[in-house]
Amino acid sequence: MPMRFVAILIIPVMMIVSACQVPEAAAPVATQAPLSTATVGAAIATTPTVVPSPASSPAAPATVPPSWKEFSNDKYGFAFRYPEACGVSEMDGSYYVGGRIELAVLDAERLSLGDYVDRFMAERAKSEDWEIENARSGSLGGQPATTIEYRFGGQKRFGTATFAIKDGKVFVWALTAGGFTCNEPDIYDQVVSSFRFTR
């Protein structure tokens, strides 16, 4: 049975089972819900959750050391923290922390978050070099967000991207494997968790 068909069958069953569970009276804990490529748009309509990566604990957001610097951008109204040793650079309209963490600010083209991410994933799925491992809803700077994790290239390097839309712009944080300059995989969650909109 093709994997896509199995995923299409499993997701509705998981949604029904999770909807039937009775919540315990414990303190709320951030969760992540894996999504198939076909259900990203529909899942965004759900209540957002914190977007942890596999390296961070869902119960504890990544803490940012007080010694980190703050980068702010008045044009797009955002700020984030970063380690001074990594620096921040701008190239072709994207902002880089070190060499592999990128924040791209793009035109949303009047698409909803779900439609934008669905299109992004569909374009990547056409390539034999891309394998989308999962997608989950969450939040970024207080806005609904979607995070996807994927493998790409001949060596199946890892990558992750988090998308959020505000004021007609798509804000995309991304980390891709490659030549790391300042331990980017270890600081990625902290940098992204420090992101906030300033207007």
In a domain, 52, yes or no: yes
In a domain, 149, yes or no: yes
Look up the CATH number of the domain holding residue 93.
3.40.1000.10
What is the greatest pairwise CA distance in the chain? 53
Number of domains in the chain: 1
pLDDT tens per residue, range 18-34: 344 333 333 333 333 34
CA–CA distance from 103 to each of 4, 10, 141, 155, 170 (Å)?
31, 34, 13, 24, 10
Whether pTM exceeds 0.85:
no
pLDDT tens per residue, range 153-193: 878 889 999 999 999 999 999 998 887 889 899 999 999 99
pLDDT value at position 169? Answer: 97
Q: What is the CA radius of gyration of the chain?
A: 17
Give phi and psi for 115, each to the nearest 5.
-65, -40
In a domain, 174, yes or no: yes
Q: In angstroms, rounded to a whole number, what is the distance separating the alpha carbons of residues 56 and 14?
A: 24
Provide the domain limits for residue 115: 28-197
